[in-house]
Amino acid sequence: MNHIDDKLNQPSRDHLENRNLLVLAGHNILLRLAWIFKTETVIMPAFLDVISGAGWVRGWLPILNRIGQSIPPILCSAALKNSSRKVVMLFTSTLLMSLFFGIIAIGCTQLGQRDMSWFPVLFLFLYALFFAATGVNQLAFNTLQGKLVRPFRRGRLMSLAGMVGSIVAILAALLLLAKWLAIPHGRGYAYIFGFTSLGFLFSALFLFFIKEPTDERGNDHSHPLLLFKNSWQTFRENRRFRRVAWVAILFMSSLLLFPHYQWLGRVKLEAGATELMMWVVLQNGAVGIFSLLAGYCADRLGNRIVIRVQIFLVAFIPLIALIISASAHPQARAYYALVFFMLGLCPVIMKSILNYVLELSHEEHHPRYLSTLSLCMAIPLFFSPVVGWLVDWNYTLVFVAISFMVFIGGLLTFRMEEPRHDHVKL
């Protein structure tokens, strides 16, 4: 009888899933529109060069990024699991992301008009809070996706959000970014970050269209020490999870170079505001293209092969950057755009790894697995200030070393299992 009821209810469930898939895609598209105006590889380090200029300060960007996306998700994982509606935490965290960038935008209105030696410290503080909200946001989004969208359709969600989001974001960047970057004394960043804040706000409001079935409220303990203990047990006891965690850790070392690619292009190739804008556009366009390809392949072949191919490609990015930046060819500055096109792989790899981990566990354990993975992915970024200092000393050595580490991560994907056709959840 239950089997017959399931068949009768299948059309309504499919309709609900289609609706929620489109809403989650729309939320992600608006998020991408906001994010292009704060791209981590170009806009944020360029902004720090305006208000500071030191390599070690740029080096703080990745570590604040990953601390925010690792520890707060662990602390919120039990609360998210216990909540009857996961969308509430997703909505709240998106609003906070909007608030923090709104404050930064207000501060930028005073650049060039008064002494603001204190502004880098305030910015880094708000940036840390922003990524704490972002970490919780990603945990809530992926948990909600795991609840509302079946595994073989999650690639479709990634493709739709990535491709449409890239088109919308690129059009906005082409229309607005170059002229805002050209405003003297960096005051254009007030418009840039103000637009970012509004994008996050509309992304949050879009979530009112979600139709999420209500769960029974849980009673998991939320003591911080217990949460970290549970994460350690997940890493130690689950061999399949541990293997993908090591791949993620080595891949994440590539993010240590994110603030320094634009520095290399500006210093060695004398790139200006026009090139910065084109790098942002190319990187976001690449995210759309790679999302479409990765999502299509993941739905049909599984996430493991997608992760493997992408990580091997990312391993060559630092070497390509070094070769082009050292070239005396008159078109070297134009060729350097290839670096930022290939960097579009990185956010797609993160989504692919998160989707892979969703398939390793039952739905009720998704918050713990996702937050544990986020904590593991933060480990390399604790070395970011040191890497920033080493880049000022010998950037060639740093770029080659990180290329090697990512390549090892690609080799370790051969030890990962494909859970797509395995119904056993550990």
Domain locations in the chain? 15-208+221-421
Give the rounded distance of the alpha carbon of 348 from its chain centre: 8
Question: What is 124-160 written as a DSSP string?
Answer: HHHHHHHHHHHHHHHHHHHHHHHHHS-HHHHHHHHHH
Is this structure's pTM higher than 0.85?
no
Q: For residue 321, what are its two tokens? A: 């950057």
Q: Band the pLDDT of 53: cuts 50, 70, 90.
A: low
Q: For residue 285, is pLDDT > 80? A: yes
Contact 373, 245 (CB under 8 A): yes
Distances (CA, A) of 62 to 127, 298, 322, 378: 11, 28, 21, 9
Contact 102, 129 (CB under 8 A): no
Q: Could you tell me which of 58, 42, 33 has the C-alpha nearest to residue 283?
A: 42
Q: For residue 196, is pLDDT > 90? A: yes
Q: What is the pLDDT of residues 221-234, one digit of tens each?
A: 655 676 677 777 77
Q: Could you tell me which of 17, 81, 69 has the C-alpha nearest to residue 353?
A: 69
**Domain covering 15-208+221-421 assigned CATH 1.20.1080.10 in the classification:** no
Q: Could you tell me which of 3, 70, 8, 35 has the C-alpha nearest to residue 381?
A: 70
3-class SS string, 16-71: HHHHHHHHHHHHHHHHHHHHHHHCCCCHHHHHHHHHCCCHHHHCHHHHHHHHHCCH
Q: Specify the higher pLDDT residue, 153 or 11.
A: 153
Q: What percent of the chain has pLDDT over 90?
A: 23
Q: Band the pLDDT of 335: cuts 50, 70, 90.
A: confident
Token pair 């005396």 in the structure block, residue = 328
What is the mean pLDDT of the segment spanning 133-157? 85
Token pair 């970024």 in the structure block, residue = 381
Q: What is the pLDDT of residues 213-263, one digit of tens each?
A: 887 776 666 556 766 777 777 788 778 888 999 999 999 888 888 777 877
